[in-house]
Amino acid sequence: MFKLVLISALFLASLLCGAQNAVDIIPVPVEMQETEETFVIDESTAIQYNKDDVELVRLAAFLTLQIKDISGLELPHNVEQSKNIRFEVIQDNQIGDEGYRLNVSSEAITLQANNRRGLFYGLQSLFQTLPSVRTNEQLKVPGLQIVDYPRFEWRGMMLDVSRHFYSPEAVKHYIDLLANYKFNVFHWHLVDDPGWRIEIKKYPKLTEVGAWRVDHLDKVWSERPPAKEGEKATYGGYYTQEQIKEIVAYAQARNITIVPEIELPAHSVAALAAYPHLSCTGEPQFVNTGGDYPEGVQTAYCPGKEEVFSFLQDVLVEVMELFPSEFIHVGGDEVDKSQWENCDLCQKRIRKEKLEDEDGLQSYMIKRMEKFLSLHGRKLIGWDEILEGGLAPGATVMSWRGEAGGIKAARMGHDVVMTPGSPCYFDHYQAGPEGEPAAIGGMNTLKDVYTYEPVPEVLDQKAAKHVLGAQANVWTEYIATLSHLEYMVLPRLLALSEVVWSPSENRDWINFNRRLRGWHFRTFDQKGFNYNTGNSKVVITPESSKGELKVTLQTEIVDGDIVYTLDGSIPDLKSHKYNGPIEISESCVLKASTVSDGKILGWVPASQTFEIHKAIGRKVEYEYPVSRYYMADGPNSLTDGVRGTLTVGEFWHGFNETDMVAEIDLGQTTKIHKVILGVLQKRKDWIFPAQKMNVEVSLDGKKFTNVATVDCPLNPDDVSNQTIDYTAVLGGVEARYVRVTATNFGVCPKGHPGEGKPTWLFVDEIVVE
């Protein structure tokens, strides 16, 4: 009886919850109540506002155009009608500079805010209750009482137009998407190695030369060869200053500030192709085509030359004339400082300014540019590498290499924008990757984005106040068209909008999905947008502990079921239905698919091979900690029966600057015939093989005996991407404890982009037979 009552109560609660949340507004408001009333926009409706307020006149024109587009109605302004839509500027400390109050009754829609910005955001919520295209249905607005305001002041999206150029019209379309979901920052990545996209009148070669490159559309970005002498540059484009002014005004009308990025000191190949004398060597070079940099290419300005600072200041003066943004982004990331190490002028600058090293030289350059911007009333913002060598006094840090840089900066009292690669890089896969368009790698699903918390738990209250907000970045190596761009940001953009606008306690994954698949997906379909419907691929997670291996299966499809097989066959509707963790006791191939509405979803099932051996499920203890960025599924991933692939983020443990020393307790004394360690080589990504592997064994866990040393089995000339097995044949030695040491390669060799920097060691499994 108790169970029946509980089920009935839950069912009733779900009905009530559904009734109270029938409106599909994203991001979800701070407070919202629905009433029984309905407002119908028709010929008897007028827009009312203070006609002496220029901002309200413009806002009323914006509303008029939107209503005309979806209905053909052209609403009159400030005339007597039986029904009204009212704009009211009030003083309300609760809602702040960007909040609003929206009240809908049968006779009036009243929108109140402290300024135009809040009124504009209120309109975005109102529009999400109406048809998005003209369908000739009545324009019915449900009765509502909304109080709403944003959680964060920085709600951003970035677009890289250097790798692939997007027309001014495409950029405006991108801005419209941001405005629809209450973003207020458009970070415009205008210059980089593959192209300079902004007209600078004092330096015309930046666009005459730097905006164009040789292109190889038949090859993926990473495999494109460098340009050769005599090849014609055919791909590119740039924005004239008049076009930029128009786009800036377009964004301002939609409450969006454009933050331009002018990369320095690195990612400057296009600029240096136009003006080679600004590099350390002064040698001529081509705009980067994608793929590896050709030998000898200069990627960074020479901070030893005073003319470099004059050039950059001239550029920034013109940039500041075009962009009224408080912030100017200067990049500051991924500097190849070996160029400076070999430059007499850079070394002279280090000595003259009493700098410690090349990190100090980078800091010197950033601090000089920060001071220059500050004198012009602007603030410098840069990627988290600007912390290296010392942070400029007024600099704001954009943390992309995880959150560590942002945490460090916030604790130093600097403002921070969180944009970690996971989950804020929208150039990564969001589903599949089978059946998905090619992406640069990684996996940031819709749920990954939705569950992101921009304020790290480790920050105290004082430091947390320096987190301005978060943004997502769209790098476009693999995204060449507007349709593909839409697909990569929709619907992840909507998930992020709720993260940065709504109170964290208002976020609900299931409710978000209901709203998303209502008005918003319907709108995308009606407007012909290209979007992803969700990640249906089953996530297979091994759990290795206490000598057992269990596997959990998860799907992001709300209300979806999972079916699976253990014999490698393709699951169908008659296969095992997942109801809880699956125990794996023998080697097998597990395949799983999501089922929704009686159909199997996805192109191919998720698949994982499990190899059962004597160390399965046994606890692993490390002498040196695993990188928190590359920890696979946890500390016991080395004993979960799963071998890694060439995808870096999957099932690999990463060690930087240290060896891997792992000790395993097998639980009882047993004969060991063989120990195998899996290692990854992807030298381009700074991942090198181990120099050697040592295997030690013990009966008591105290006294260990070295029983094997295995050198790297690769030919030194074999630098291809691959997985490598280090195999030690032991011939039946008795032991309970096994300790495996993989010696880190050391530093990147001469000629590597990371020359002299610590390498990464990636390991996947310790197989004990």
Read off the tokens for 99.
């909040």
Query: Distance (Å, rounded) from C-alpha 729 to C-alpha 672?
Result: 9
CATH number of 620-768: 2.60.120.260
Read off the tokens for 68.
């005309």
Read off the tokens for 13.
């609660």
Q: Does the domain at residues 23-148 carry the CATH identifier 3.40.50.880?
A: no
pLDDT digits (tens, 9 = 90+) for 239-294: 999 999 999 999 999 999 999 999 999 999 999 999 999 999 999 999 999 988 88
Residue 650: pLDDT band (50, 70, 90) is: low
- The phi, psi pair for 152, rounded to 5°, reads -120, 150
Which of helix, strand or coil describes residue 368?
helix
pLDDT value at residue 565: 97
Query: Distance (Å, rounded) from C-alpha 465 to C-alpha 459?
Result: 9
583 vs 92, 430, 588, 589, 649, CA distance in Å? 58, 29, 11, 13, 25
Which residues have C-beta within 8 Å of that of residue 31, sequence separation ≥ 6?
145, 146, 147, 148
Query: Distance (Å, rounded) from C-alpha 766 to C-alpha 678?
Result: 7
Would strands 83-89 and 45-48 be described as parallel, antiparallel, or unpaired? Answer: parallel
CATH number of 154-527: 3.20.20.80
pLDDT digits (tens, 9 = 90+) for 207-233: 999 999 999 888 999 889 999 999 999
**β partners of residue 697:** 705, 738
| Cα dihedral sign, 480-226-333-200 | negative
Spatial CA neighbour of 330 closest among 377, 263, 266: 263
750 burial (CB, 10 Å; 0-12 / 13-18 / 19+) is exposed
Of 401-415, 465-479, 596-610, least confident by mean pLDDT is: 596-610
The CATH fold assigned to 539-610 is Immunoglobulin-like (2.60.40)
Residue with tokens 């009754």: 105
Residue 649: pLDDT band (50, 70, 90) is: low
Pair 577, 511: CB distance under 8 Å: no
**What one-character DSSP code corresponds to residue 455?**
S
Tell whether the model's pLDDT for residue 585 goes beyond 70: yes
- Number of Cα atoms under 13 Å in the Cβ half of residue 440: 20
**β partners of residue 677:** 726, 766
Q: What is the mean pLDDT of residues 679-703?
A: 94
Which of helix, strand or coil describes residue 241?
helix
Spatial CA neighbour of 714 closest among 740, 691, 737, 682: 691
Query: Distance (Å, rounded) from C-alpha 678 to C-alpha 360?
Result: 39
Global confidence as pTM: 0.89
% pLDDT > 70, the chain: 97
Tell whether the model's pLDDT for residue 7 goes beyond 70: no
Would strands 212-213 and 235-236 be described as parallel, antiparallel, or unpaired? Answer: antiparallel
pLDDT value at residue 195: 98
- Number of Cα atoms under 13 Å in the Cβ half of residue 669: 7
Would strands 154-160 and 185-189 be described as parallel, antiparallel, or unpaired? Answer: parallel
Catalytic residues: 334
Tell whether the model's pLDDT for residue 507 goes beyond 80: yes
Spatial CA neighbour of 308 closest among 338, 267, 265: 265
Of 14-28, 48-62, 335-349, 664-678, least confident by mean pLDDT is: 14-28
Q: What is the mean pLDDT of residues 521-531?
A: 97
Tell whether the model's pLDDT for residue 9 goes beyond 50: no
Read off the tokens for 171.
């950029």
In order, the DSSP letters of 665-723 are EEEEEEEEEEEEEEEEEBGGGTB---SEEEEEEESSSSS-EEEEEEE--S-TT--SSEE
Pair 55, 116: CB distance under 8 Å: yes
Query: Distance (Å, rounded) from C-alpha 630 to C-alpha 607?
Result: 21
94 burial (CB, 10 Å; 0-12 / 13-18 / 19+) is exposed
- The phi, psi pair for 580, rounded to 5°, reads 170, 180
Greatest alpha-carbon span in the chain = 96
576 vs 561, 564, 566, 604, CA distance in Å? 11, 5, 9, 17
Residue 13: pLDDT band (50, 70, 90) is: very low
Which residues have C-beta within 8 Å of that of residue 603, sequence separation ≥ 6?
432, 434, 435
Which of helix, strand or coil describes residue 515?
helix
**Mean confidence (pLDDT) of the chain:** 93
- The phi, psi pair for 222, rounded to 5°, reads -70, -15
Query: Distance (Å, rounded) from C-alpha 373 to C-alpha 400?
Result: 23
Which residues have C-beta within 8 Å of that of residue 319, sequence separation ≥ 6?
198, 200, 260, 262, 328
SS3 for 392-439, per residue? CCCCEEEECCCCHHHHHHHHCCCCEEECCHHHHECCCECCCCCCCCCC
Of 119-133, 165-179, 501-515, 592-606, least confident by mean pLDDT is: 592-606
**β partners of residue 692:** 711
The amino acid that residue 363 corresponds to is S
Residue 16: pLDDT band (50, 70, 90) is: very low
- Name the region of 331 (left: φ>0; alpha: ψ -120 to 50; beta: rest): left
Spatial CA neighbour of 312 closest among 362, 247, 268, 258: 268
Spatial CA neighbour of 194 closest among 172, 215, 171: 215
Pair 511, 523: CB distance under 8 Å: no
494 vs 74, 153, 400, 641, 735, CA distance in Å? 30, 17, 20, 37, 55
pLDDT value at residue 222: 87
Q: What share of the chain is helix, strand, coil (3-state, %, to 5)?
A: 25, 30, 45
For Cα atoms 391, 393, 394, give the angle at the middle one, nearest 5 degrees. Answer: 110
Which residues have C-beta within 8 Å of that of residue 10, sequence separation ≥ 6?
none
Which segments of 73-195 does DSSP mark as H helices, in order?
116-127, 168-180
Query: Distance (Å, rounded) from C-alpha 93 to C-alpha 182?
Result: 20
% pLDDT > 90, the chain: 87
Tell whether the model's pLDDT for residue 642 goes beyond 50: yes
How many residues are recorded in the chain?
A: 769
> What are the residue boundaries of the structural domains of the chain, listed by start?
23-148, 154-527, 539-610, 620-768
Read off the tokens for 22.
């029938």
Query: Distance (Å, rounded) from C-alpha 405 to C-alpha 463?
Result: 13
The amino acid that residue 688 corresponds to is F
pLDDT digits (tens, 9 = 90+) for 74-133: 999 999 999 999 999 999 999 999 999 999 999 999 999 999 999 999 999 999 999 999
Residue with tokens 């509707």: 573
b/e string for 621-657 if b means 16 or more Cβ within 10 A?
eeeeebbeebebbebbbbbbbbbbeeebbebbbbbbe
Residue 648: pLDDT band (50, 70, 90) is: low
Read off the tokens for 611.
């190899």
Query: Distance (Å, rounded) from C-alpha 577 to C-alpha 44?
Result: 57
Residue 4: pLDDT band (50, 70, 90) is: very low
